Amino acid sequence: MENISKKILELAEKYSDYTAQNLSKLIQIKSVSMQEKDVQHELKRQMEEAGFDEVRFDGLGNVIGRIGNGKKILAIDAHMDTVDLGELSNWDFDPLSGEVKDGYVHGRGTVDQEGGAAAFVTMGRILKELSFDRDLTIYCTGTVMEEDCDGLCWKYIVEEEKIKPDFAISTEPTNLNIYRGHRGRMEMRVTFKGISCHGSAPERGDNAIYKASRAALEIEKLNERIKYDEFLGKGSVTISEFKSGSPSLCAVADYAHIHLDRRLTWGETKESAVAEVEAIVKDLDGVVEVLHYEEKAWTGLTYGMEKYYPTWKIPENHKVVQTGKEAYETLFEKSPLIDKWTFSTNGVTINGYYDVPMIGFGPGNEVLAHAPNEKVPIDHLVKASAFYTMFAYLI
Catalytic pick from 36, 58, 77, 146? 146
Catalytic pick from 36, 42, 77, 81? 81
146 annotated active-site: yes
CA distance 376 to 386: 16
53 annotated active-site: no
Residues known to be catalytic:
81, 146
